[in-house]
Amino acid sequence: MKKTTIIVGIIIAFVAGLVGGYFGGYAEGGAAVTALYASKIAAVGRFFPMPSQVFSLSGRVENISGDTITIDANSITQNPFAEGNFPAVRTVAVTGATVITRMEQTDFATLQKEMAAQRLSASTGTVGAPITPPSLFTETDIVLSDIKVGDMIMVTAASDIANAASFSATKIQLLPENSANVPFPSSSVPAATQTPAR
């Protein structure tokens, strides 16, 4: 009986040692890997700098209630390792001063004409004069009721909205249908200095 108890005790001690060693090694190895890659993650972050302020962002409309739009916002950074408390769901208030437009891609024929006119102007114009490229999008005024659940929109505010779960929009742009899978980048340019493409 005593011999059996000793054997059972040895087996239990052996199994406990294996389990403890496994989890201890796992934790120590995990810490080593985290330390090893921390500097690499920080280096990657330099290629995706966080904007100090965000004035516009895009997202899909989830709900419209009165003068309030709820959107599932795209990330404000392309850095997959970014840390921050950025709300995914944003509540946007539409006021009487909010400008609402529909963005549409400029058709190819119009772009060709604009580029030909630009080349002609560049060849006969003043040397060193700034060249304004043709706009890839045109904007037309619409009303809030033209925006539907499921639409992609770009919202702009007068103040920093990086961490804002709700804010008032100075401008809302209804994005083209084919932009659903192409997240429009957020803007760090204040709304007052943005020039609309019309």
Domain shared by 135 and 182, yes or no: yes
- 34 and 91 housed in the same domain: no
Tell me: do 36 and 104 sit in the same domain: no
pLDDT tens readout for residues 120-138: 777 776 666 677 777 788 8
pLDDT at 163 over 90: no
Domain count for the chain: 2
Residues 6+ apart with CB under 8 A from 121: none
Q: Is the pLDDT of residue 147 over 50?
A: yes
Question: Percent of the chain at pLDDT above 90?
Answer: 34
* pLDDT confidence bin for 95, thresholds 50/70/90: very high
- Quick check: 59 and 151 in contact, CB under 8 A? no
Task: Looking at the structure, tell me whether residues 105 and 182 fall in a common domain.
Answer: yes
One domain, residues 28 and 65: no
Gap between the Cα atoms of 12 and 3, Å rounded:
14
Q: Print the domain residue range for 37.
A: 1-47
- Indicate whether 31 and 65 sit together in one domain: no
Residue 116 scores a pLDDT above 80 = yes
| Same domain assignment for residues 37 and 111 | no
In this prediction, residue 9 carries a pLDDT of 62
Q: Span 10-31, mean pLDDT?
A: 62
In a domain, 158, yes or no: yes
Task: Among 18-27, 29-38, 93-102, 130-139, name the most confident range.
Answer: 93-102
* pLDDT of res. 106: 80
Q: Could you tell me the two tokens for 173? A: 């742009």
Determine the distance from the C-alpha atom of residue 158 to the mean position of all C-alpha atoms in its chain, rounded to a whole number. 18
Residue 78 within any structural domain of the chain: yes
Residue 159 lies in a domain: yes
Q: Are residues 30 and 77 in the same domain?
A: no
Hunting for tokens 């100090």 — which residue is that? 52
The confidence score (pLDDT) of residue 177 equals 80
Within-domain flag for 7: yes
Residue 134: predicted pLDDT: 74
Q: What is the pLDDT of residue 198?
A: 44
Judged by DSSP in three states, 133 sits in: coil
pLDDT of 151 above 70: yes
Within a domain: 11: yes
For residues 26 and 61, membership in a common domain is answered with no
Instruction: Could you list the beta-strand ranges (E) of 16-88.
Output: 56-65, 68-73
Note whether 113 and 186 are same-domain residues: yes
**Strands, E assignment, 106-165:** 137-141, 152-156
Q: How far is it, in rounded angstroms, from Cα 45 to Cα 32? A: 20
DSSP strand E in the chain: where? 56-65, 68-73, 89-105, 137-141, 152-156, 166-174
Banded model confidence at residue 8, pLDDT cuts 50, 70, 90:
low
Q: What is the pLDDT of residues 55-75, one digit of tens each?
A: 999 999 999 999 999 999 988
Check pLDDT > 50 for residue 195: no
Find tokens 């404000």 and name the residue.
Answer: 76
Domain shared by 32 and 120, yes or no: no
- Whether 198 maps to a domain, the answer reads no
Whether residues 147 and 119 fall in one domain: yes
- Assess contact for 61 and 69: CB atoms under 8 A: yes
29 Ramachandran zone, left/alpha/beta (phi>0; psi -120 to 50): alpha
